[in-house]
């Protein structure tokens, strides 16, 4: 069906008549008469002139009507389409500190750094969240809102893929990331606020301590799921031979457990890409919040059709004026 966005502009249709009635009539300029010996030769020319003037009048009326119709912004409304909405508002907080460059994960049997593995697995997770609104927080020494809550999963995945190590600083501000999530999710329904925080270290920066931020999250009914990422052991080759090291020695699991438990969430440990993927599969089972079904109707703008016709008629009218 055709819909007029601004139908009240149709009231401008009689405007030319109002101008004609209100403004004084045009006074014809008196000029010296041209006397010719044969008046019958000009009788046909006068008839043509009158017909051209009537034709110009109808062209002007049609152009004005089309112009006013274009100004009302006509649109074509398609059939209503149901939009899948689960009711969840998920915020992902991803650590971009310098320690995420440790290559203790494997994808396709190739060693990759922790951030690359996180991007790969989180990308699949985001792609499966049809109907959820998803936001993205990147944190290091500071926490930044990279993507506000949106249904546009493709944009969230793109911005996550474009993130690089050290973008937010080399330290880890876990408390600030939680505080930013509380601020962005505070106005959402209480039983749909979820934060998934992934880090490989301990809080070493920021203005707010993680546990204090967790208390604030609890007061706002924000459920936090924390993920500690990093292998337990790693083979390091050196001049003196191979030796085993623990690349996750700086991971503060106690704090991450307390954050999750105090907010009603859960702590997960991801030592490799498979475990990380299994964690996101478990998170997929979060119970949705029931909401009323939402519908939207696709709209196509049509104003340029009457506008183009109005301009064409105006061009024809100008051409007739030049001939007259």
- For residue range 98-139, list pLDDT tens digits in order: 888 888 788 888 888 888 888 888 888 888 887 778 899 999
159 and 244 part of one domain: yes
> Total structural domains in the chain?
2
Domain-embedded: residue 226: yes
Specify the length of the chain in residues.
324
CATH of the domain at 189: 3.40.50.410
pLDDT band at 294 (very low <50, low <70, confident <90, very high): low
57 and 92 part of one domain: no
- Its domain, for residue 55, covers 2-14+41-78+297-323
pLDDT band at 292 (very low <50, low <70, confident <90, very high): low
195 and 74 part of one domain: no
Residue 135 confidence (pLDDT) = 92
pLDDT band at 215 (very low <50, low <70, confident <90, very high): very high
Domain-embedded: residue 20: no
Q: Phi-psi category of 131—alpha, beta or left, where left has phi over 0 and alpha has psi -120 to 50?
A: left
What average pLDDT does the segment 262-289 reach? 80
How far is residue 289 CA from its own chain's centroid? 23
72 and 116 part of one domain: no
Residue ranges of the alpha helices (H) in 9-165? 15-22, 43-71, 114-128, 153-162
127 and 186 part of one domain: yes
- For residue range 152-165, list pLDDT tens digits in order: 889 999 999 998 88
Domain-embedded: residue 89: yes
Residue 167 confidence (pLDDT) = 82
């Amino acid at each position: 069906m055709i819909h007029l966005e601004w139908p009240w502009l149709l009231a401008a249709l009689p405007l030319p008549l109002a101008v004609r009635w209100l403004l004084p009539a045009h006074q014809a300029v008196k000029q010296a008469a041209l006397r010719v010996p044969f008046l019958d030769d000009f009788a046909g020319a006068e008839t043509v002139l009158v017909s051209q003037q009537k034709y110009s009048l109808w062209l002007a009326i049609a152009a004005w009507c089309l112009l006013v119709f274009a100004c009302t912004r006509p649109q074509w409304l398609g059939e209503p389409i149901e939009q899948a909405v689960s009711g969840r508002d998920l915020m992902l907080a991803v650590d971009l500190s310098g320690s995420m460059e440790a290559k203790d994960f494997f994808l396709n049997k190739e060693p990759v750094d922790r951030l690359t593995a996180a991007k790969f697995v989180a990308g699949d997770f985001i792609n499966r969240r049809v109907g959820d609104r998803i936001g993205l927080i990147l944190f290091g020494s500071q926490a930044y809102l990279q993507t506000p809550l949106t249904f546009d999963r493709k944009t969230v995945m793109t911005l996550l893929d474009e993130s690089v190590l050290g973008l937010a600083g080399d330290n880890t501000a876990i408390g600030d990331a939680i505080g930013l999530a509380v601020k962005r999710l505070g106005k959402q329904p209480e039983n749909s606020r979820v934060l998934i925080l992934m880090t490989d270290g301990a809080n070493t920066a920021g203005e707010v301590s993680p546990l204090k931020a967790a208390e604030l999250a609890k007061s706002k009914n924000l459920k936090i799921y924390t993920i500690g990422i990093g292998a337990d052991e790693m083979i390091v080759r050196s001049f003196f031979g191979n030796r085993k090291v623990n690349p996750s020695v700086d991971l503060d699991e106690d704090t991450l457990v307390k954050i999750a438990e105090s907010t009603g969430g859960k702590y997960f440990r991801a030592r490799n890409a498979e475990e990380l993927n299994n964690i996101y599969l478990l998170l997929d089972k979060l119970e949705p919040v029931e909401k009323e079904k939402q519908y939207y109707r696709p709209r196509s703008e049509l104003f340029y059709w009457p506008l183009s016709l109005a301009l064409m008629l105006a061009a024809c009218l100008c051409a007739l004026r030049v001939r007259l």
